[in-house]
């Protein structure tokens, strides 16, 4: 993953400030974070879990078993509850299959629990699909967060290069530890059963620790973003001064 640019640091700092304000004014329970993970029968989990930072284009190779059978899973997390798991059909999640999941499975549950919620998704290609964003604009105007276009009616745009801005990271880590206990699942049915059991085993105390870890990450991220932004501004000003100084001789 490439490092943040100056403008992106500002966006991340603003986004973290928005989340921290929500934690202070008790609006945090309204937030619903949705995320997808891919579990392979071989024991590999794809959910941004391998992150490599650099300033230039990277050519890093991560080895894994080729064509390992897999399952695409979606879950949503609030302060009080986990929704899921939802298992997608097929090996690929498309914009249409993601939209069907939102319309037919997730949003009916969210609306049953509360009509006043804020929905967040990341910038994955299925989430960026025109029909998905149209659905969110019409269903949750000014009440959703994600990758946005200029005409989208979102509460806030998710800052670029910020895959960790969700408590779902911690959830998938918890599930992974319990799914891939030796011996590994023998087939996809057993893998699916283990994922379901692991998600259902999340206690209220565990969910509280998930949110505590996420809150800490947001707090640290906000502080680092501001410090890095100020450093970049200082360096830019220093470069300008050096360029404007008359040369001696």
**Residue-wise pLDDT tens digits, 137-170:** 999 999 999 999 999 999 988 877 665 667 888 8
Q: Shortest CA distance to 132 belongs to which of 117, 142, 144, 116?
A: 144
pLDDT in tens, 34-48: 999 999 998 877 654
Decide if pLDDT at 247 tops 80.
no
Q: Where on the phi/psi map is residue 5: left (φ > 0), alpha (ψ -120 to 50), or beta?
A: beta
Q: Cβ(188)–Cβ(232) under 8 Å?
A: no
Q: Cβ(72)–Cβ(38) under 8 Å?
A: yes
Distance CA(101)–CA(192), nearest Å, equals 17
Q: Cβ(73)–Cβ(37) under 8 Å?
A: yes
Residue 62, pLDDT score: 44
Residue 143, pLDDT score: 95
Q: Cβ(30)–Cβ(118) under 8 Å?
A: yes
**Bridge pairing between strands 118-120 and 144-146:** parallel
Distance of CA 163 to the CA centre of its chain: 5
b/e code 82-92 from CB counts within 10 Å (16+ = b) = bbbbbbbeeee
* H-state helical runs in 25-157: 95-101, 107-113, 125-128, 130-139
Name all domains of the chain by residue range, CATH numbers in brackets.
6-244 (3.30.420.10)
Decide if pLDDT at 191 tops 70.
yes
Would you say the pTM of this structure is higher than 0.85? no
Residue 8, pLDDT score: 65
For residue 77, what are the contacts with CB-CB under 8 A and spacing of at least 6?
32, 33, 34, 35, 83, 166, 167, 168, 171, 207, 210
Ranking 11-25, 136-150, 210-224 by mean pLDDT, the lowest is 11-25
**With bands split at pLDDT 50, 70 and 90, how would you rate the model's confidence at 53?**
very low
Decide if pLDDT at 219 tops 70.
yes
Task: Tell me the percentage of the chain whose pLDDT exceeds 70.
Answer: 71
Mean per-residue pLDDT for 237-244?
52
Q: Which helix (H) or strand (E) holds 87?
A: strand 82-87
Decide if pLDDT at 96 tops 80.
yes
User: Residue 61: is the preceding peptide bond cis (ω within 30°)?
Assistant: no
Ranking 124-128, 159-163, 183-187 by mean pLDDT, the lowest is 159-163
Q: Which helix (H) or strand (E) holds 74?
A: strand 70-77
């Amino acid at each position: 993953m490439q490092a943040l640019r100056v403008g992106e640091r500002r966006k991340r700092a603003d986004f973290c400030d928005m989340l921290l304000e929500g934690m202070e004014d008790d609006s945090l329970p309204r937030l619903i974070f949705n995320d997808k993970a891919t579990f392979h029968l071989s024991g590999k989990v794809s959910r941004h879990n391998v992150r490599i930072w650099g300033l230039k284009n990277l050519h890093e190779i991560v080895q894994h078993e080729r064509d390992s059978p897999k399952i695409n899973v979606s879950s949503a997390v609030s302060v009080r509850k986990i929704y899921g798991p939802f298992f997608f059909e097929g090996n690929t999640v498309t914009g249409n299959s993601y939209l069907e999941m939102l319309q037919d499975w997730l949003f009916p549950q969210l609306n049953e629990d509360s009509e006043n919620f804020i929905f967040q998704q990341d910038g994955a290609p299925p989430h960026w699909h025109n029909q998905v964003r149209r659905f969110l604009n019409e269903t949750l105007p000014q009440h959703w967060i994600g990758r946005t276009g200029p005409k989208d009616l979102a509460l806030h745009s998710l800052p670029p290069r910020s895959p960790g801005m969700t408590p779902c990271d911690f959830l998938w880590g918890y599930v992974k530890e319990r799914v891939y206990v030796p011996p590994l699942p023998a087939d996809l049915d057993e893998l699916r059963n283990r994922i379901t059991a692991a998600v259902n085993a999340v206690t209220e105390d565990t969910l509280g620790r998930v949110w505590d870890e996420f809150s800490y990450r947001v707090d640290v991220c906000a502080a680092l973003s501001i410090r890095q932004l100020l450093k970049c501004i200082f360096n830019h000003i220093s470069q300008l001064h050096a360029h404007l100084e008359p040369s001696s001789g």
